[in-house]
């Protein structure tokens, strides 16, 4: 394992499998009445969030606390960032407080990479701009492996706003490493220019791909990152690329539905599909704690899981 986790593409297959297998062991701990392990006692994890988050921020905090690490939560809102303090000075200030690991979410693609050149501790990318979100991809792979029994040769369809999605890029890279066959489905306007270099297929026809999918991951339409009209209307987007009841019926009976959250219910996914027993959306959140425990445990050299 590298000292940092910046990109899902940095994970060799053995690294990825080690994280998933460690998460399986840690999941058993999470089922106990006392969920805490002493493994990272005396270590400090700083959560450095410059962008809003519910799932990722809370699950990193829960993960670090379950491993008995000390946790410092930093949110750009209300900090000296509003007085113009730079990312570097913010990071060095937090490191001076003894950070062994810095978990960073930032609006700028590449911010975790820069941070890793300034601090001595491990850097974990919790989402950088439209670039990557590697722990989301790991928790998604963990959720798929549990539901589907394995990933090798599985057909995974990722649908929607790929252009603005760090989740899509990290998932494509990780799933390809783990032997899955990934197809991206999106309007041409919501695909990155370089998508042809990604290790996946591309389709514009959701109805044709659904019957051949073992898992369908719907992406949030990221309206807050859109500075132009990428589709004629929300209704039109939903009609062509939304997963409604009729489309859900076209999927194989044992195929699962995923979404990283937060969802635009009624736009990219119908409420009844999101809430169906074949949806893993709530499981994904629970698995996020377990995967982040595994990542912190492995990066910070925890002792044995007991």
Residue 133 marked as a ligand binder:
yes
189 binds ligand CP (CB under 6 A): no
* CA dist list (Å): 215 to 21, 42, 55, 161, 279: 21, 40, 21, 17, 10
Convert residues 51-80 into a mask of x (bound to ligand CP by CB under 6 A) and - (unbound): --xxxx------------------------
Q: How far apart, in whole angstroms, are the C-alpha atoms of residue 218 and residue 284?
A: 13
Rounded least distance, CB 134 to ligand CP, Å: 11
Q: Name the residue nearer to ligand CP (CB basis): 136 or 143.
A: 136
Nearest distance in Å: CB 259, ligand CP: 9
Between residues 53 and 93, which has the closer beta carbon with respect to ligand CP?
A: 53
Does 183 bind ligand CP (CB under 6 A)? Our answer is no
DSSP character at residue 230? S
Residue 240 CA to residue 211 CA, distance in Å, equals: 16
Partner residues linked to 105 by β-bridges? 49
**Contact window for ligand CP (CB under 6 A) among 50-58, 79-87, 199-207, 238-246:** 50-58
Nearer to ligand CP, 29 or 103 (CB): 103
Report the 10 Å Cβ neighbour count for 194.
Answer: 7
Q: What does DSSP say about strands 181-185 and 155-159: parallel, antiparallel, or unpaired?
A: parallel
Q: How far apart are CA 232 and CA 243, in angstroms?
A: 18
Q: DSSP characters for 235-255?
A: HHHHHHH-B-HHHHTTS-TT-
How large is the angle between the packed helices 281-299 and 134-148, nearest 10 degrees? Answer: 120
Ligand-binding site membership of 13 (annotated)? no
Q: Any bridge partners for residue 202, and if so which?
A: 184
Range 129-148, binding ligand CP (CB under 6 A): 133, 136
The CB-of-38 to ligand CP minimum distance in angstroms stands at 27
Assess 260 for contact with ligand CP (CB under 6 A): yes
| Pairing, β 181-185 against β 44-49 | unpaired
Dist CA 303 CA 69 (whole Å): 13
Residues forming beta bridges with residue 224, ordered by sequence position: none
Q: State yes or no: residue 261 binds ligand CP (CB under 6 A).
A: yes
CB of 257 to ligand CP, least distance (A): 15
Residues in Cβ contact with 167 at an 8 Å cutoff, skipping those fewer than 6 apart: 133, 136, 137, 140, 219, 260
Return d(Cα 202, Cα 218) in angstroms, integer: 15
Ligand-binding site membership of 56 (annotated): yes
Q: Give how many residues touch ligand CP by CB under 6 A.
A: 10
Is 222 labelled as part of a ligand binding site?
A: no
Q: Which is nearer to ligand CP, 39 or 136 (CB)?
A: 136
Site residues for ligand CP, 100-119, by CB under 6 A, read none
Q: Which range touches ligand CP (CB under 6 A), out of 8-16, 47-55, 223-231, 264-272?
A: 47-55
Q: Which is nearer to ligand CP, 213 or 287 (CB)?
A: 287
Among 19, 62, 122, 127, binds ligand CP (CB under 6 A): 127
Known binding residues for L-aspartate are 83, 166, 220
Binding-site entries? 55-56, 83, 105, 133, 136, 166, 220, 261-262
Q: Which residues lie near ligand CP (CB under 6 A)? A: 53-56, 127, 133, 136, 260-262
């Amino acid at each position: 394992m590298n000292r940092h986790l910046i990109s899902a593409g940095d994970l060799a297959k053995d690294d990825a499998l080690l994280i998933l297998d460690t998460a399986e062991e840690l999941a058993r701990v999470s089922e106990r009445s006392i969920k805490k392990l002493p493994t990272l006692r005396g270590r400090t994890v700083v959560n450095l969030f410059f962008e809003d988050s519910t799932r990722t921020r809370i699950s990193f905090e829960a993960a670090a606390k379950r491993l008995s690490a000390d946790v410092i939560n930093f949110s750009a809102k209300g900090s000296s960032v509003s007085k113009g303090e730079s990312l570097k000075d913010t990071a060095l200030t937090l490191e001076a407080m003894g950070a062994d690991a810095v978990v960073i979410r930032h609006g700028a693609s590449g911010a975790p990479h820069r941070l890793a050149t300034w601090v001595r501790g491990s850097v974990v990318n919790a989402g950088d701009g439209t670039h990557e979100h590697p722990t989301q991809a790991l928790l998604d792979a963990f959720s798929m492996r549990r539901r589907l029994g394995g990933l090798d040769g599985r057909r995974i369809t990722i649908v929607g706003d790929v252009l603005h999605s760090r989740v899509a890029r990290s998932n494509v890279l990780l799933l390809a490493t783990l032997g899955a066959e990934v197809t991206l489905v999106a309007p041409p306007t919501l695909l990155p220019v370089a998508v042809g270099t990604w290790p996946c297929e591309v389709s514009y026809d959701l109805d044709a791909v659904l019957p051949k999918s073992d898992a369908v991951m719907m992406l949030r339409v990221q309206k807050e990152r859109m500075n132009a009209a990428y589709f004629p209307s929300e209704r039109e987007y939903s009609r062509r690329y939304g997963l409604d009841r009729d489309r859900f019926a076209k999927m194989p009976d044992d195929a699962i539905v995923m979404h990283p959250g937060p969802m635009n219910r009624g736009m990219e996914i119908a409420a009844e599909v999101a809430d169906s027993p074949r949806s893993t959306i709530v499981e994904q959140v629970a698995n996020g704690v377990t995967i982040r425990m595994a990542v912190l445990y492995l990066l910070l050299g925890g002792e044995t899981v007991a």
